Structure 1
């Protein structure tokens, strides 16, 4: 019986001693074991533009608890801990972090819209190109803070609005002020939808008044681009642009809201009798003939149905000595050079094609 009591005494003492050492609150020499992010199923992700009212799940991110370690090998978890999920472009090295969420849980869900918003904020603009991003977990409690090792991913987002430059048309004396007319298009040097620059160089046979109208507002005068004083571009049913007879270059910028008219050095340019788009779609011969403008003999236009992907360039008077093409990816807008390869029309369908033989500017616009 005495032996039994002695063994019971020893057992109680061992339990008491173990409890007091494991939960020792003396913070001397304490070290923090940071959270560790659990691996995802893949490291490359692409966001798909959701339908209105939806916000699809991209992935669930989880991590281990941060813990606080003592020199004697024991550790504890803090009750007041919180976790901040931080995101940044990898190149920034977390100098411009954005916080997805702060939580007491050890997981969070990445949804499409919020993830895209964070990426756009980090880039300073919408982007649909692949970006390298890093994610880390910041753990904070009364016992200190720590950061996990980052998880590196690649992410491709989407544009909220399709990144296509608007088509802008000239409305004025040259087309009887028909506010539905698409006979005269403003050309562009760039297909970057954020570039607001448009240009037109042409021959004006007489003093001419005109304005400009974006395609979505055709049929009305209320939203036309008009000539404000001092090169300021205005929008509304306001003052017209004016040029005298001769060659003129008109440029407008719908982003900076500016305009300018200059006189190019053009003397005795070639006037072609025929002009046509040419490429694999017509066997590089017997090209369809474009219609020459009755107002300006250097402006050409045609509607054409492409049945498959094809290169498209331009040939004057059915003579290869007069052929011009843009670069493969210069579509719908481009500036052709002599014997250039030609822009590639990717998709079958009906297109309106414009060509300016003074400058080589063209537009191949899908209807």
Structure 2
């Protein structure tokens, strides 16, 4: 037996460019019945290799028959994709109203395939269906048959990276001086932190200051405090501003009141920051760090920062898909479970590398924070 659901639809008639109510009782009750599943046609090509040089080109077009809810209202159609035929974690690739076809561009199909969990640079099966519904609340949803085809997505590095600059940091006011990156939270891509040594330098009002850059070697985009320079007294928390993100003028400067270790946290969702003193006494001092694993092939030594001995980096190393660990001079092996950025722990498994490229790698032995920054993606 078909399900029956009452859907309230407000009728309006367009007359002389104005909406007027068609009758005294402006609420009319109509009955819609669940449609039989629509039929999604097979696509004419079984293997699609996505070309990143032409992201706006059409990649694939889907066609299906019209749903029948026994009402004159337009039907909604959502094209869903999944890495498995059961649609355990479906991804909405696109949605259309009142039409029985949809075309995805190269970029749109690549994004949907990536969100569905398909690995880049290899052919994998992607499953597709269309879910029809009716009304603004997407009532009476019914899924079509499932089709599948092979797709080879390319990789999009969707993350932003940020770098320290200023006389409170190792880079001084040089925007291209091996400026240390902030460490991105693996679960919140808008949350970044940096735990390390900051200096007050000469001790004056303008000393111990820093800002955040998005690109080494470029002064914009840059981020700082909301107060203008000169009025930017050193605070432990507050609002952030950016040029050009929030304004045309440069923002004020973050800062520290004295030499020491601090944890700087910046949230680009709330546009706020905190700067908290950190006690690093009692922490282990390591004399060497080595990157190892099948993703790197040959063990590669980190360079220890002379400004902050808890900060380690490799300026350039070619990594292949595989796993990484960080070996200390004490024999302990540190690893994490998330690619590109995360928190490593002693004996914590392996850091996954999902795509080949030349990488810049940074590791903080105080917090276990690591970040792998691809140079060409």
Give the TM-score category using the shorter length: 0.5 to 0.7
**Alpha-carbon separation, structure 2, partners of 1:222 and 1:245:** 28
Match of 2:254 in 1: 241
2:340 maps to 1:332: yes
Q: Would you say 1:41 and 2:42 are equivalent positions?
A: yes
Say which of 77, 96, 99 aligns to 1:87. 77
Match of 2:361 among 331, 353, 366: 353
Alignment equivalent of 1:300, drawn from 294, 303, 312: 312
Match 1:291 to one of 284, 298, 303: 303
Query: TM-score scaled by structure 1?
Result: 0.63
> Residues of 1 paired with 2:301 and 2:143: CA distance?
61
Q: Does the Cα contact within 8 Å between 1:36 and 1:63 map onto a contact in 2? A: no
* TM-score normalised according to structure 2 size: 0.61
Aligned match for 1:128, one of 101, 110, 115: 115
Give the Cα–Cα distance (whole angstroms) in 2 for the partners of residues 269 and 205 of structure 1: 19
Q: For structure 2, list consecutive stretches of 5 or more residues without a partner in the other structure.
A: 1-32, 81-86, 88-93, 118-126, 135-139, 202-207, 228-236, 244-249
**Structure-2 change in CA distance of 1:289 and 1:48 (3 Å):** closer
Larger Rg: 1
Contact 1:226 1:239 in 2 (8 A): yes
Aligned positions of 1:1-367 closer than 5 A: 37-38=38-39, 40-41=41-42, 51=54, 53-62=56-65, 84-88=74-78, 100-102=96-98, 108-112=100-104, 128-129=115-116, 134-136=130-132, 151-153=144-146, 162=156, 164-173=158-167, 174-190=170-186, 195-207=189-201, 208-215=208-215, 218-229=216-227, 231-236=238-243, 237-243=250-256, 244-280=258-294, 287-306=299-318, 308-317=320-329, 319-320=330-331, 322-327=332-337, 330-367=338-375
How far apart are the structure 2 equivalents of 1:211 and 1:181?
Answer: 14
Q: 1:349, 1:127 → 2: CA distance?
A: 18
Deviation at residue 154 of structure 1 after TM alignment: 7.8
Q: Is the 8 A contact 2:163 2:214 kept in 1?
A: yes
Q: For the structure 1 residues 49 and 175, does the alpha-carbon distance in structure 2 shift closer, same or farther, using more than 3 Å as the test?
A: same
SS of structure 1 residue aligned to 2:63: strand
Shift in Å at residue 309 of structure 1?
3.3
Q: Structure 1: give runs of 5+ residues left out of the alignment.
A: 1-31, 69-80, 92-97, 139-146
Over the aligned positions, Cα root-mean-square deviation in angstroms equals: 4.5
Q: Secondary structure at the match of 1:41?
A: coil
* Deviation, structure 1 residue 275: 1.7
8 Å contact kept, 2:76–2:96: yes
Number of equivalenced pairs = 286
Give the number of the structure whose residues are more often helix, by fraction.
1
CA distance in 1, matches of 2:184, 2:163: 12
From the two aligned structures, give the one with the greater strand fraction: 2
